Amino acid sequence: MKRVLFRKVLFSYLIITAVLFIALEIYLSRVVRSNYISRLEESLLIQSRLIEEEIPRLPGSNLDDFCGKYKEKTGARVTIIDGTGRVIGDSDEVSEKMDNHSDRPEIKEALINKTGSSIRMSSTLHKKFFYFAIALGGNPERGFLRLSVPLHDLETAISDIRMRIAAASLIALLAAILIGLFQTGRITRSIEEITRFSAEIKSGDFRSRLFLKEKGELGELAKNINDMAQELKIRLEFSQKEQHKMEEILKNMSDGLMLTDVEGRIFLCNPAVKRFFGIDYDLEGRTLMETLRNVELMDVLAETVNKKETVSQEIMIAHPKEIYLLATAVPFNYPPESEKISGIVLSFHDVTRLKKLEDVRKDFVANVSHEIKTPVTAIKGFAETLLEGALDDRENAVKFLLTIKNHSERLNSLVEDLLTLSRIELGDIKIKKTAVDLDDVTDTVFTTLKNKAAAKGLQLIKDVPSDLHEIIADRNRLIQILLNLVDNGIKFTERGEVTVQVKSEKLKVKSKEKDADPSPVTRHSSPGDFIEISVSDTGVGIPHHHIPRLGERFYRVDRSRSRELGGTGLGLAIVKHLVKAHGWELRVESTPGRGTAVKIIIPA
């Protein structure tokens, strides 16, 4: 880990320490210099007062010698100046050769304040001196006494003090660096531990803990971070559980659910929507128009946005298969107090089954009405004819009565088939399975229908192997199944034969897309041995598009011909339900003009 923080803290610490020590050195140097000058000034004042008392009063006295004498005693250069600024005595130079000193700063100050001082370069000795002057007797007109000392000693002393301060500062700085290194190292190590721990928390590892030896604020910070990590772990786990629940709910919903904005851009979509519309790619981030391409759905969305209220509409999907969906669009606002619509929640409920049931109900009512109306109308018409006088016509009366009898039998047969179908669906007819001889059952069916087949010149062929003649089934219901199938074969075959064949084969598993069976049966999902009972004919056959609807009540391929042959349209529906009640499967295969084969698949 790069110790950037350590370097930054240490560098800042060193800069602050260095600045403080430099400021201290400057301050101490100035204080020492000021104190030294102040003491020097006091010393020179005392010396000046003493020398002033010894100055000769007689005119013509050699003051240069006097000044030289006191320089030896005081070590300071002594200069005596008269009131006009003329030098009349000096310890270092011949006074007569010296310039007028009335313009010297110290003399000017003494002229006003009785004493004066200055630091400057000497014009005669070319050295830096401290000059101190007093007015003789306190009267500037009498003249001035000036003492001057070189500042070399002062500079030497100050340099010495600076060296000592620098040495002390260096020692202190080194100590500060060592202390700073130690303290900064401790702090940065603690911060690095906190950083490492926070990185682990960020990556999702909540098992680690943060332990710091530091007390005080850092220790409290570590404790708070540990507590925060635990609380975050609990909250995150709860959030993940809730999210997982929502994902599972959305994924396993039978209804489609989608979230879009007001422009139709999809934010969320569950798998049911893709299944309904036959889509195998992600919809998130795309628009309804470019993905679902359903005009009715876009109209629902637009109406919801315009009206700002829930809108429901039934839509039809043609691809990949024809289904009917109830699309409901609900606007929502976020935040809730906002008046502007934030998005639309679209739900899709599959109503295909209800639609088909409604169509079946309508067809059933229409078909029952039509089937009953024909015989009732015929019975009523012939009865009225008989009542109006045809009863006395013996030849025609008998014919009319036979017609009434045939229509009443047809009506009775229709009612019985409806009752049978209803009882099967309600479970009133119980399937009692026993060992059944297929050879005997087939003979019973053929015996019942042989006259009907002979009347049309048809052959009834039985193909039941000896090793497959026995199965477990309800004998009476199996006879009813075969009677209906063989009877249908006879009705719709003009020449040839009707064959009942039994064989054992392997069930082939077919893919849903390529080998989807159009017949109205449910296929096994796993392979295995099975027995197949097939009733085939050489009749007119059934067009391919009619096969999926075979087994519906009153459904006929050729309505007029079926009714002429005496069919109620319920025979195959009864067969379908009886086969299902046995736990078997039904498959219809047909080729127009070549015949039809109805196969019953019995798991072995």
The reported pLDDT for the residue numbered 398 is 80
Task: Please provide the DSSP assignment of 242-255 as one string.
Answer: HHHHHHHHHHH-SS
List the structure tokens of 214.
């530091």
Residue 424 CB neighbours (<10 A): 19
The reported pLDDT for the residue numbered 213 is 65
Quick one: 214 exposed, middle or buried, by C-beta within 10 A (0-12, 13-18, 19+)?
middle
* d(C-alpha 263, C-alpha 45), whole Å: 99
Task: Please provide the DSSP assignment of 301-349 as one string.
Answer: HHHHHHHTS-EEEEEEE-SSS-EEEEEEEEEE-SSTT-SS--EEEEEEE
**Measured in whole angstroms, how far is the alpha carbon of residue 433 from the centre of its chain?**
57
* d(C-alpha 428, C-alpha 547), whole Å: 29
The reported pLDDT for the residue numbered 562 is 47
Amino acid at 134: I
pTM for this model (two decimals): 0.45
The reported pLDDT for the residue numbered 154 is 67
* d(C-alpha 279, C-alpha 276), whole Å: 8
User: pLDDT tens digits for 207-241?
Assistant: 777 766 666 677 777 778 788 888 888 888 888 88
Give the three-class secondary structure for 266: strand
Q: Which domains are seen in the chain, by residue range? A: 253-350 (3.30.450.20), 356-424 (1.10.287.130), 430-603 (3.30.565.10)
The residue whose two tokens read 């159009």 is: 518
Give the three-class secondary structure for 600: strand
Quick one: 49 exposed, middle or buried, by C-beta within 10 A (0-12, 13-18, 19+)?
exposed
* d(C-alpha 13, C-alpha 180), whole Å: 7
- Beta bridge partner(s), residue 90: 79
The reported pLDDT for the residue numbered 312 is 92
- Please say whether the dihedral angle defined by the alpha carbons of residues 274, 275, 279 and 280, taken in this order, is positive or negative: positive
Amino acid at 248: E
- Please say whether the dihedral angle defined by the alpha carbons of residues 512, 514, 518 and 524, taken in this order, is positive or negative: negative
Amino acid at 4: V
User: CA nearest 461: which of 486, 424, 492, 428?
Assistant: 486
- Beta bridge partner(s), residue 587: 599
Residues in the chain with pLDDT < 50? 1-2, 509-528, 560-566
The radius of gyration of the chain's CA atoms, rounded to the nearest angstrom, is 62
The reported pLDDT for the residue numbered 344 is 92
List the structure tokens of 537.
């004919």
